[in-house]
Structure 1
């Protein structure tokens, strides 16, 4: 009896295309057992994040609402997608029903891709804040952030639902053809892959290095400008206190100084300040040219 059950299980597993087909069944089960506590730990962390925002609503703003959306997506991913993926590697008997097969394919597609699409919303938020700060500060709100999340969800379902419906109809004719990678209609499947996964993720992860480079460049320019202001302030203070020509210093502090002498002294002071500022500007230009 035990032999027949084991033999049946082995036959079922051999007929299954696992996500990690190069691994043995035992290795795959060990990996599944190792990731189980990590998944539970991740759910607890995301629930804690949601509870924190619930306890402190003032923390919710146009940007932190993206963190809330990602937390909800990860919780749904852990509760719906991960258990079915692990169970599929052990047995496929529960996938023989067309409706169960359809919902399995739905979660395998939608949950991971929705997470990536939410990241492109965050990337677009950061690019807008950098490129159009006035527009961003004028229109930023929780409502607009939630509209972005709703838009990517509609985008995802708009591309996937035709494929899901077609595969659901196909599974009615081929009950044993359920597979998380949706084997039917390969041409349209490739189009969906690119529109909901490859292109959005390529834009997101490909643009982040350029955004960081531009941010570092802006920060460097601000430091140069701040240093210029500090240098000019120091130069003006030094010129006003110690850089007067010796021939006119007694005239300034003398009660017998004539108006002509005082006017000449002020002219010399302005010339000294202008000269010191020109030297400081030349040093800043040299440093900025070296940066480029």
Structure 2
């Protein structure tokens, strides 16, 4: 029996179906998950969700194969009691900042828990998610979590939950850094005489295209060298950027990671 067969048989509970939950659900359904096996708990279901055929705010199965928690951290306290009666399920949380210990306190010391940190490109199937399990979560549990989280992008496994702060600073907050890079590149183009719409279009396409090249697996340093001719225009630009960017990025990621540590106490 495949993992998908087991979930179709025992059911899947999805607590919260906002942007992230909806993106994951769309990927699962496209991958063959039976809508009738999905039980969604959401106080304000969208028209799209109502049209998927999933079970909305009905009785939950006693022993679902997977229970995915996708509510905002500030609503966690009010939302978790809906899951208190579930048994023999794998709890997977994509809620930022909520620790494994918090879920163990809610569901008991024997609960199997996987904590995940996706990022916003998951909404278009291009995210990357880091996962880590508690002591009760075995390899099969991590495999199950990875199977379902891969519906919205790549998945990597961490050695320890403390690495989540660094993940938050790098990939969790990272899309905002890239968006700001696009803003800055467009502004620089405008300063060189380009029309604002043209500068923004060029900046967006340049970052998106470079990202696709980087995903092909080549060493980023080699990709940089490939487009840098000796004494050419790119070398002139890099002479400025490489003098400042490494330290700036290190401090940026450190600031976000430090804030993540502070927020979890």
- Normalising TM by the smaller chain, what interval? under 0.3
When Rg is computed on C-alpha atoms for both structures, the one with the higher figure is 1
* TM-score, with length taken from structure 2: 0.28
Q: Which has the higher strand share?
A: 2
* TM-score, with length taken from structure 1: 0.26
